[in-house]
Amino acid sequence: MWDFDVLVLGSGPGGQKAAIAAAKLGRRVAVVEKKHMLGGVCINTGTIPSKTLREAVLYLTGLNQRELYGASYRVKEEITVADLGMRTQHVIGREIQVIRSQLGRNHVTVLQGTGRFLDAHTIGVTGDEERKVTAERIVIATGTSPARPSSVEFDDKMIIDSDAILHLDRVPETLVVVGAGVIGIEYASMFAALGTKVTVVERRERMLEFCDLEIVEALKYHLRDLAVTFRFGESVAAVERRPRGALTVLESGKKIPADCVMYSAGRQGKTAELCLAAAGLAADDRGRIEVDENYATPVPHIYAVGDVIGFPALAATSMEQGRLAAQHACGEPVAEMQELSPIGIYTIPEISFVGKSEDELTRDKIPFEVGISRYRELARGQIIGDSYGMLKLLVSSEDRRLLGVHVFGTGATELVHIGQTVMGCGGTVDYLVNAVFNYPTLAESYKVAALDAMNKMRVIARLTAEL
């Protein structure tokens, strides 16, 4: 009766995993994706290019080696956008091949073009040719695009968003980043590492509020050391385009000249082209679609996953949502998404955490002890020349369970998973105290931090016993 059992709109992490999961369950599956966008924002303009760019910056600037070889150490004196773009394009190309091959192996049909609802079971695909396809179940995984305030005249050269920053024709000497969210601050740190003088303008009084305050302070210290200027509690009144650069005028009257201004002002769900009303659906003013706990929209055979449904808008969560939605759509038993998801922020240095922050635990009146390990006290920290990294464990003073793990420095986004696993299995700090880790490793920081927390708890226990 239908052309396909499951049709997925968008081939980003959410769409891909939905399509593969449905195909593995023996369904006839199609993915609709725009030309040159296979793999979604994740592969083409978001996660993969930005993380590859970061790796290229770290390698070419030699930044991570300077503690060992001196402040003037660099692999290449004049780093050009071609040097950076070469690595980015290489990885994007490879990743697209991996996805194409994975979809092919699983007999998922890729329909190239822009999809829109004609009715609740019919999608019109506009591409090189126009076609109509029907499907029993539909998964919307169309993601987001950078929000562009209407008051700002974007020209994709001097006044840009986070998509256009990947296509600059030279590394700017000066850059204003408007918005200190994750994307803004990641790019600010990459360009600062390249030697660009960066000014970050943020309306709020602090940045990355969901992160551990001590770690955000450490990041700010490092970025200031790379000549980043922060303007917190400031809003942009206007950005003026001048022949030799842009002038960012703040509401406080300050003027900041720069070669380039990057707006990182949040993202908008990509739903405008979908003609949602034809399927009986609607999006909110930020283009997001409402879903229930199974990722089903108010029209039960239509699901939505990934960034288009809003928070947390991360690649890993999008993938899992896609898989779970497909299972539900195919009538399979569905496990709930695990609550314990890590957050990784690829600034220079990087940040990662899982579980609660000190602020959250204090607000909820949950007593905890802190155990800290500093990389400079680990042999591996000395070997790699990372003297600033740290790992912080938040341990329940009542039952010694791990409540949160916060990591700053080399390998933070990998290391966090040890803590996530211990927490996920209901482990206590005792496990980490007694575990033997490879030496010399950064993983050892778990044992050192656990011993630190345990020693502090022992002092409290001793004093309490004396009473």
Ligand X SMILES: Cc1cc2nc3c(=O)[nH]c(=O)nc-3n(C[C@H](O)[C@H](O)[C@H](O)COP(=O)(O)OP(=O)(O)OC[C@H]3O[C@@H](n4cnc5c(N)ncnc54)[C@H](O)[C@@H]3O)c2cc1C
337 near ligand X, rule: CB under 6 A: no
Geometric angle at alpha carbon 103, from 345 and 128, rounded to 5°: 100
Q: Look at the alpha carbons of 378, 437, 51, 261 in this order and tell me if their dihedral is positive or negative.
A: negative
259 phi, psi to nearest 5 deg: -65, -30
Binding mask 237-276 for ligand X (x = CB under 6 A): ---------------------------------x--xx--
CB 414 within 8 A of CB 354: no
Report the helix count and the strand count for the chain, using DSSP H and E.
13, 22
> Quick one: which of 32, 223, 415, 418 contacts ligand X (CB under 6 A)?
32
CB 117 within 8 A of CB 125: no
Q: How many residues does the chain have?
A: 467
Q: Considering only 35-43, 69-77, 173-181, 364-372, which stretch makes contact with ligand X by CB under 6 A?
A: 35-43
CB 90 within 8 A of CB 55: no
197 near ligand X, rule: CB under 6 A: no
Size of the site for ligand X (CB under 6 A): 38
SS3 per-residue string spanning 38-54? CCHHHHHCCHHHHHHHH
Is 443 a known ligand-binding residue? no
We find the least distance from the C-beta atom of residue 225 to ligand X, in angstroms, to be 23
Binding mask 392-421 for ligand X (x = CB under 6 A): ------------------------------
> Quick one: which of 85, 115, 381, 409 contacts ligand X (CB under 6 A)?
115
Residues 130-159 within binding reach of ligand X (CB under 6 A): 141-144
CB 235 within 8 A of CB 200: no
Q: Considering only 26-34, 245-253, 327-335, 448-456, which stretch makes contact with ligand X by CB under 6 A?
A: 26-34
We find the least distance from the C-beta atom of residue 426 to ligand X, in angstroms, to be 26
Is 460 a known ligand-binding residue? no
Q: Considering only 11-19, 59-67, 209-217, 276-284, which stretch makes contact with ligand X by CB under 6 A?
A: 11-19
We find the least distance from the C-beta atom of residue 96 to ligand X, in angstroms, to be 11
Spatial CB neighbours of 99, under 8 Å, sequence gap ≥ 6: 11, 16, 38, 39, 43
Q: Characterise 176 by phi-psi region: left (phi > 0), alpha (psi -120 to 50), beta (else).
A: beta
Going by DSSP bridges, is the β-strand pair 260-263/159-160 parallel, antiparallel, or unpaired?
parallel
> Quick one: which of 64, 65, 109, 114 contacts ligand X (CB under 6 A)?
114
The rounded radius of gyration (Å) of the Cα atoms in the chain is 24
We find the least distance from the C-beta atom of residue 316 to ligand X, in angstroms, to be 5
Rounded Cα–Cα distance for residues 348 and 343 (Å):
15
357 near ligand X, rule: CB under 6 A: no
> Quick one: which of 7, 29, 46, 161 contacts ligand X (CB under 6 A)?
46
For residue 7, the SS3 value is strand
**Residues in binding site for NAD(+):** 179-186, 202, 266
**Residues in binding site:** 51, 115, 179-186, 202, 266, 307
Which residues contribute to the site for ligand X (CB under 6 A)?
Answer: 9-15, 32-34, 37, 40-42, 46-47, 50-51, 114-115, 141-144, 162, 183, 270, 273-274, 306-308, 313-316, 318, 346
